[in-house]
Amino acid sequence: MTLETSFERVDLPLEFPFRIARSTTAVAANVIVRIEDDAGRVGIGGAAPSAHFGETAATVEAVLPELLAVVEDVDDPHQLERIEGQMRETVGRNPAARCAVSIALHDLAAKRLEVPLYRYWGLDPTERLESSYTIGIDDPETMREKAETAVERDYGTLKVKLGTDRDLEIVETIRDVAPGVRLFVDANEAWSPREAVRKIERLECHGVAFVEQPVPAADREGLRFVYERSSLPIAADESCVTLADVPQVADRCDIANLKLMKCGGLREAKRMIHAARAHGLEVMCGCMTESNASIAAACHLSPLLDYVDLDGSLLLADDPFEGVPMPGGRIDLEGIERPGTGAGPVLEE
C-alpha cells in the first residue's frame, strides 16, 4: 500500500460575526487534510486551530509535513494507535494539526471497510442527540433577532455567550423570544468566582440547563468555589483540555466538555469520555468554528455523550463540505449516505 497525503488552507466566512467574551471572529481559518490510498479512496480531516490554545493556521501548516510523514512511513490507515502515538512524539503540541490527521485516518479506515465511522466503532446510532446552536455576544436587539432566526430554523437548543455587564438582560431577551428551547450559557472564563455565584442565582429562574466555564481556566480553586455554591450544573471547557485534566476537574464540575481540536484526535477524545465517566461526570463534545471536514467526525461520538455543541459548520456562511445530517441540530447518524465520517465535498447541482 502507498498512502499519499496533502493539505490546504481554507478561509471560511461566518454567516454573522461571532463574538465571545475574549474575541470576535468573522472568518474561520481551517486546514483540510487528505489521505489517499492506492485504490483512490480519500480520507478527509480538518483542523480548526484556536489562538487561545496556541495554534494558528500557519502553525498547523508548519507542522503538517512532519505529521504526514509519519502517516506515509507507517503506510497503514488502520494502525491508528501507532500513528497517533508517533505523531505525539514528533509534534508534542499542536493538537488541532494532529486532530486533522487523526480524522482523515479514521475516515479512510472506515471507508476501506465500507462502513460509517460509528459502525466501525460499534456504536448505536439510534438515539439522536440535539446540538445546541450558539448565539454570540452582540447588542440585545441583534441577539434577539439571531435567537428568533434560530427558532425559525427549528433549533430546539440554544447556547448563549455571556461575559458582559448585561448578561442577565441578554438571557431575559433570549427567553422572551425562545421560551420553549433548552438553554445553555457560556461565560468563556469571563466571571470572577463570586460574580459567577451571584449571576447563577439569577439565571436559575430562566430555565438554564447548565453554565459553561464561568471562571478563568487557571483558577481551579475558583471553579471549585462556584461548583460548591451553584444551583445549576457547571461545565468545564477551557479547564478541561486534555485527558490529564479530567481528574483535575472531576471534583469541581458536573460536565466535562471535550473538543477534538483541544485534545488532538479521535482516540484521545474517546479516552477522555471514558475517563470522565469513570469520575462520575456527564460529557459534552463542543467545537471551534469548523467545517464539516471535522464536525462530521465529532458527530460520530454522539452515542457516547450527554450533550453536543457541534454547530461550528452551521455558523458558516458557506461550508465547502457536507457532513452528517443535522436537521434542526439533531444528529442523524443513520442518515449518512457514504462510509467514513460522512464528510465530502458539496456537489453543485
Listing from the earlier edge strand, what are the strands of the sheet with 42-47?
Answer: 4-19, 24-36, 42-47
- The number of C-alpha atoms within 13 Å of 101 and in the hemisphere containing its C-beta is 33
Q: Which CATH number fits domain 120-345: 3.50.50.60, 3.20.20.120, 3.40.1010.10, 3.90.45.10?
A: 3.20.20.120
- pLDDT at 140 (0 to 100): 85
Superfamily, domain 4-114:
Enolase-like, N-terminal domain (3.30.390.10)
| CATH 3.20.20.120 in the chain, residue ranges | 120-345
221 by Cβ neighbours in 10 Å (0-12 / 13-18 / 19+) ranks as exposed
pLDDT tens figures, 120-173: 999 999 989 999 999 999 988 899 999 999 999 999 999 999 999 999 999 999
10-residue mean pLDDT series, the chain (349 residues): 95 91 89 98 97 94 98 97 96 95 98 98 96 94 94 97 95 96 97 98 96 97 98 97 97 98 97 98 97 98 98 95 96 96 83
pLDDT at position 277, please? 98
Provide CATH 3.30.390.10 ranges for the chain: 4-114
Residue pair 88/40 in contact by the 8 Å Cβ criterion = no
What is the residue-wise DSSP string for 92-144?
Answer: SS-HHHHHHHHHHHHHHHHHHTTSBHHHHTT----S--BB-EEE----HHHHH
Which pLDDT score, from 0 to 100, does residue 348 have?
Answer: 56
Is the pTM for the entire model greater than 0.75? Answer: yes
User: For position 286, what pLDDT does the model report?
Assistant: 98
Q: Which residue has the cell 460575526?
A: 17
